[in-house]
Structure 1
Amino acid sequence: MMTELPHDLVRTLLAVVDEGTFDAAAAALHVTPSAVSQRVKALEQRTGRVLLMRTKPVRPTESGQVVVRFARQLARLEGDARDALGMDDAGGGPARLSIAVNADSLATWFVPALAGLAQDARLYVELRREDEAHTTALLREGEVMAAVTSSPDPVAGCSVRRLGSMRYLPCAAPEFAARWLVGDPAGRLPEAPVVIFDRRDDLQDAFARELTGGRNASPLRHYVPSSEGFVDAVTAGLGWGLVPGSQAEPRLRSGGLVAFTPGRTVEVPLYWQQWRLDSPALATVAEAVAAAAARALD
């Protein structure tokens, strides 16, 4: 029984997943679409599994995700080896690290974490925005090499490091608070309009349940899938919302926002998960992220 995974077949599968179609992968690999199809079929025969769903764009099956993750790890290790051997001019190109980051981190502390890497022309990042509760799915599927996540439970093949906690403040525009949240703000949350990031965002509902003994936030909700837009929507009086402390505090000082439950905050723990690879490039980014998180997070 043949158990090895030929690297040319593995790279071809990754190209199909990244490019989305067999034809696009063929163009990227400078081979014919027929050759790409034959390589994928050969890999499926070797593994005894269906690795791709032939949709448009194609998607890896659960077994295919395992091979995709292996392909990305292989590419990263090869890139590190070329760099260590001084073979950057041999066509390998700079290292590109794919990282999943939640929107609030992306809008506040995460990008400054990468500032120290700006002078290193050998290292580039591709950031994928995803809710902190769902970034581990991208790790599991092999789509990213590292992620900022709210889960302390490591994805298989990954290590975990605690970064700190992001602090959120329950805020509203002064006029909105005067209309909707007077008297008993906590008790009025199930009726007061609310701003939600997207349909997977449970932060506001969880806060309302905690204060009301189990009732969600109001069904009168505005969905604003942008961290900066979210704060602007709350400031404009569309609804109340939980705003990251670093974004809320300047507006609280200027009077653009009020904290309608003074002294109460929500702390969301954040973790750094990454593949267990002896990769200098990945280690460099991990240390930069940890250092920035130590300065910015609680």
Structure 2
Amino acid sequence: MLDYPLLAALAAVIREGGFERAAVVLGVTPSAVSQRIRALEERVGAALVVRSQPPVPTEAGARLCAHVEKVRLLEGELASDLPALAGPGPGVPALPVAVNADSLGSWFLPAAARFSEATGALLHLVLDDEAHTAARLRSGEVLAAVTAEPAAVPGCRTRRLGALRYVACASPAFQARYFAEGVTAAALNRAPVLQFDRKDGLQARWLRQHFDQALTAPTHQVPSTQGFLDASLVGLGWALHPLPLAAVPLAEGRLVELVPGAGMDVVLHWQHARLGARLLETLTREVAAEAARSLFPVAGLSALPEPAPDPSRSAPVPTDPASR
């Protein structure tokens, strides 16, 4: 039989990103956490954690972490139906979800708010690049994710949400300074560009798609969705921004599109564990509904209502997965 106190220690180390943080959550010492994981590894007969910074699960460890998170969710729902079964401590279930920063900053939060209001459940949001959020599902760290990966993670259901459109923007002063003679390959080699972090390949992909050139310009790193937009507004550099965030500054003239109509669509998917849990199903409905309102429809979209056509939006451009 599985020993759930030992499994809880393993899951806490992976979820919290360290033995010390896991110890605080569990109310024990870091030494006790380490002993529990060693005992579990002896019982399983395999290493479960790579003791790096932060610790990462082995394949066997990831499977056990995923099992623990599923059990926690199902037990939380059962306790809400049968309060007498609830043990000490907080009884409100918490759902771990991975989401990329641009989705969080542009369309995801209304869905999260409606879900929480309807269920009373909590969300533990994990931020990562959309090309990497599926790895959080595989590790068992989360039970659902907004991801650019269309192939279902083992044990998960997947559905296409739609496309988040990005536009290449700069402030009028920045455009006048660097692109007075037009947005040319030579000018793009000189003009400073913004990058979210080292995983962010969006600007490089846009350059390859529209100018067939590599990104060689000086680069600022600004790891904040709002800060990224603010940096463009004050003229620090040019960058691609989600259209929902850039639309108002563009309409007001505080931003200009470098190449009008040359946007880039990033197709997003929703993946969640196959549990049949009410909370996951409710969150899925809210996420799908908000995506239908906020994202661009994609050919082949499965069983989702499409938003009303918006004449201010330009025609779709070829999709290209990005890294924010």
TM-score by length of 1: 0.88
Paired residue for 2:269?
Answer: 271
- Offset at 1:28? 5.2
State how many pairs are aligned.
294
Distance in 1 (CA, whole Å) between partners of 2:220 and 2:30 is 46
Distance in 1 (CA, whole Å) between partners of 2:24 and 2:170 is 52
Contact 2:197 2:222 in 1 (8 A): yes
- Aligned-partner SS, 2:163: strand
Distance 1:70 1:192, change over 3 A: same
Paired residue for 1:51?
Answer: 48
Q: Deviations over 1:192-241 (max 9, x none)?
A: 2111111110000000011222x222330111111111111111111111
Contact 1:112 1:292 in 2 (8 A): yes
Distance 1:192 1:94, change over 3 A: same
Counterpart code for 1:282: L
Q: What are the within-5 Å matches in structure 2 for residues 136-175 of structure 1? A: 136-175=134-173
Contact 2:188 2:217 in 1 (8 A): no
- Aligned-partner SS, 2:47: coil
Distance in 1 (CA, whole Å) between partners of 2:197 and 2:29 is 42
Question: Percent same amino acid among aligned pairs?
Answer: 44
Q: Deviations over 1:256-293 (max 9, x none)?
A: 11112112211000111111111111111111111111
Contact 2:119 2:279 in 1 (8 A): no
Paired residue for 2:177?
Answer: 179
Distance in 2 (CA, whole Å) between partners of 1:283 and 1:259 is 39
Counterpart code for 1:49: A
Residue 142 of structure 2 corresponds to residue 135 of structure 1: no
Counterpart code for 2:70: Q
Among 278, 283, 286, which residue is 2:284 paired with? 286
Q: Which segment drifts farther, 20-29 or 83-92?
A: 20-29
Contact 2:79 2:91 in 1 (8 A): no
Q: Which segment drifts farther, 4-13 or 15-24?
A: 15-24
Paired residue for 1:212?
Answer: 211
Paired residue for 2:193?
Answer: 194
TM-score by length of 2: 0.82
Residue 76 of structure 2 corresponds to residue 79 of structure 1: yes
Among 9, 33, 44, which residue is 1:12 paired with? 9
Contact 1:194 1:218 in 2 (8 A): no
Residue 242 of structure 2 corresponds to residue 232 of structure 1: no
Distance in 2 (CA, whole Å) between partners of 1:152 and 1:84 is 35
Distance 1:293 1:9, change over 3 A: same
Distance 1:164 1:87, change over 3 A: farther
Q: Deviations over 1:67-99 (max 9, x none)?
A: 111111111121122223344754361110111
Structure 2 alignment gaps of length 5 or more: 297-324
Distance in 1 (CA, whole Å) between partners of 2:15 and 2:179 is 49
Distance 1:16 1:152, change over 3 A: closer
Paired residue for 1:125?
Answer: 123
Structure 1 alignment gaps of length 5 or more: none
Counterpart code for 1:205: A
Distance 1:60 1:267, change over 3 A: same
Distance in 1 (CA, whole Å) between partners of 2:231 and 2:32 is 52
